[in-house]
Amino acid sequence: MASTQLIARGPGKATRRHASLVATLLLVAACGSSTPSDAPASGGTASEGAAGSPTATDPAATRGPVTAASLTIAIPDDPGSALNIYTANQQFDPLIDLVYDKLMGPSPYVDEPQPLLAESVTQVDPSTWDVTVRKGVSWQDGRPFTADDVKFTYEYFRDGIPNRYTHHTNDAPDIASIEATGDRTLRFHCSYPCPELGSVTFADLPILPRHVWESVTEPAKFTGLPIGTGPYRLTEHAGGQYLRFDANDAYFLGKPTVDQLVVTITKDQDATFAALSSGEIGIAARNVPPELIAGLAARPGIRVVSTTPLTSVMLRLNYERPPFTEPRFREALSLAIDRQALVDTILLGQGRPGTQGYPHPDSPWTNPDLSTPFDPGRAAALLDALGYTDTDGDGIRENATGGPISLDLQVTASEPARIRAAELLVGQLNAVGIGLGVRTADAGTIRSLFGSRDFDMYIDQGFAHELADPDQFIESNRSGLAWRAGLAYPEWDRLVAAWEQTTDVEARRAATFDLEALFNRQPTIIPLWYPNESWAFRPDAYDGWSETRGYGIVNKWSFLPADARAGRIARTFD
């Protein structure tokens, strides 16, 4: 595995090293992104520091154009394909959403999704829903969108190989059949009650064109550029470098406000914000680190805004590898972590400690009474009860065979905050007698760990689909992300059986709360913090940004007319 040993250091040294990078960022521009050579510059024309240049200290002065010929956006990671719907990770949902539409929108993360490709959805009984699809919509290749495309999509996901969306059709919930009841109408039948089908499933699954996908027998290997009904068509993909999107002027909700989006892949955090400072990009589609917020906000021509995220930085544990197979050890590990210290030291207070458990406390589907406190005394007592004691006086406990309780933690090399968190975790776990070694790896290697299972723990980031979609919480405990179907877990199975029998949304929510309480008593995923979310952009490049829950400001609604946004966004930044 491609990784390098990281020598754990105290937080002071790590902070000083990063401070030098911050100073460099604010003084010079770095060439860190891979913009296509013929892409128009999107940093705007106002000279930095010139009279009349916008500044973040006067928000009214920062108002720039709400239309643009081209905009360059830097993202921190490579989708790995031309947005293949079968292989794309949840962090790329905002890009997929540019190309595809769902029956309801904007997402499952809002209280009341609005009709999108659906004209209406109606619950007939606890297990049955009727859908009427919108008329007059076309695919980006000019073919008409029909109810048959919807039926095909749901059956293709349900009956095909597993991917990010399949659980919404064949597990949680389980759609037994779909009938065409008219030219524009469908009836969905679930095998058990599905009260959240209208607000969750219909707001999550992108609809595929049957005429493109019906001949695709190996969807994970599909390499073509996607065709959707959305406001943008992906017209070029240079792997590891950039994606180019052109506006779909015939979009049924109105002509997009930016003619072309050039999305560059810039993995290095400091290079990204240097590119923003120099005007090479118009927006950084990644959270601004706390230590950079003040410096970026003070720079002429840059504005920093805050949104309400549904993300968490967390530890993922290999629950199939000892000692994580023991529920009390997982509980002790959680109790040993001082999350407030992580927030104070690493985020400079710009976030919340992960003491409200998993999934995300701001989701309407998360139990508000969850608590995962810092209690090293209780952690030590649990470890003592397990028979893990320090028999040789070196400060690290041993197991029953005399081997040290020493864990391996892997972390992404390009994420300074996660590296600093790992350094602090070494001391926190050592304090209760658990040894911890830390290794860095590239982002691709970290992503592969879930499949390979070759890890003890790794630091990862969860996004809205994992943290605010209630059906995904169930599926995470079946698919292997948080637990694997087939592993004994009788108490969970009993609660899931009760969950399946609930017939209305509020009863389903209460049953979900019970499952979350059980999970957090013996977690396999441990939230470290819930970050605040700040976005830095150049208003002179584009200033039509809006927030929609779970997607920040780089979302399809930011590039649509005001009337299309109504009821689908949280706010604008006028």
End-to-end, the C-alpha distance of the chain in Å comes to 48
69 Cα distance to chain centroid: 29
| Model confidence pLDDT, tens digit, residues 327-341 | 999 999 999 999 999
Mean pLDDT computed over 345-358: 94
**pLDDT (0 to 100) of residue 341:** 97
**pLDDT (0 to 100) of residue 34:** 41
**CATH, domain 59-84+230-308+536-574, list 3.40.50.300, 3.20.20.70, 3.40.190.10, 3.30.450.40:** 3.40.190.10
Q: What percentage of the chain has pLDDT greater than the value 90? A: 80
**pLDDT beyond 70 at 495:** yes
| Model confidence pLDDT, tens digit, residues 365-395 | 999 999 999 999 999 999 999 999 999 999 9
Which of 55, 66, 168 minimizes the C-alpha distance to 107? 168
**pLDDT beyond 80 at 36:** no
Alpha-carbon distance of 454 to 456, in angstroms, equals: 7
Asked which of 39-48, 223-232, 489-498, 547-556 is least confident by mean pLDDT, the reply is 39-48
Give the other-Cβ count within 10 Å of 568's Cβ: 21
Give the model's confidence band at 417: pLDDT under 50 very low, under 70 low, under 90 confident, else very high: very high
Give the model's confidence band at 86: pLDDT under 50 very low, under 70 low, under 90 confident, else very high: confident
Give the model's confidence band at 62: pLDDT under 50 very low, under 70 low, under 90 confident, else very high: low
Between 3 and 307, residue with greater pLDDT: 307
**pLDDT beyond 70 at 108:** yes
**pLDDT (0 to 100) of residue 167:** 87
Mean pLDDT of the chain, nearest integer: 89
| Model confidence pLDDT, tens digit, residues 508-557 | 999 999 999 999 999 999 999 999 999 999 999 999 999 998 899 999 99
Assess contact for 258 and 67: CB atoms under 8 A. Answer: yes
**pLDDT (0 to 100) of residue 128:** 98
**pLDDT beyond 50 at 237:** yes
Mean pLDDT computed over 166-194: 96
Between 433 and 110, residue with greater pLDDT: 433
**pLDDT (0 to 100) of residue 81:** 87
Between 81 and 361, residue with greater pLDDT: 361
| Model confidence pLDDT, tens digit, residues 255-296 | 999 999 999 999 999 999 999 999 999 999 999 998 899 999
| Model confidence pLDDT, tens digit, residues 146-172 | 999 999 999 999 999 888 898 889 999
Between 527 and 29, residue with greater pLDDT: 527
248 Cα distance to chain centroid: 26
Assess contact for 342 and 314: CB atoms under 8 A. Answer: no
Alpha-carbon distance of 469 to 245, in angstroms, equals: 28
Q: Give me the CATH code for the 312-531 domain, please.
A: 3.10.105.10
Between 29 and 171, residue with greater pLDDT: 171
Alpha-carbon distance of 160 to 151, in angstroms, equals: 14
Assess contact for 66 and 544: CB atoms under 8 A. Answer: yes
Alpha-carbon distance of 285 to 362, in angstroms, equals: 22
**pLDDT (0 to 100) of residue 87:** 85
User: Which residues face 322 on adjacent strands?
Assistant: none
CATH architecture of structural domain 101-212: Alpha-Beta Complex (3.90)
Mean pLDDT computed over 58-67: 72
Burial of residue 391, with CB atoms counted within 10 A of its CB: 0-12 exposed, 13-18 middle, 19 or more buried: exposed
Give the model's confidence band at 452: pLDDT under 50 very low, under 70 low, under 90 confident, else very high: very high
Going from N- to C-terminal start, the domains of the chain cover 59-84+230-308+536-574, 101-212, 312-531
**pLDDT beyond 70 at 183:** yes
Assess contact for 555 and 106: CB atoms under 8 A. Answer: yes
Give the model's confidence band at 15: pLDDT under 50 very low, under 70 low, under 90 confident, else very high: very low
> One fold for both 101-212 and 312-531?
no
HSE-CB for 57 with a 13 A CA cutoff: 6
Dig out the tokens for 89 from the structure.
């990770």
Mean pLDDT computed over 494-516: 97
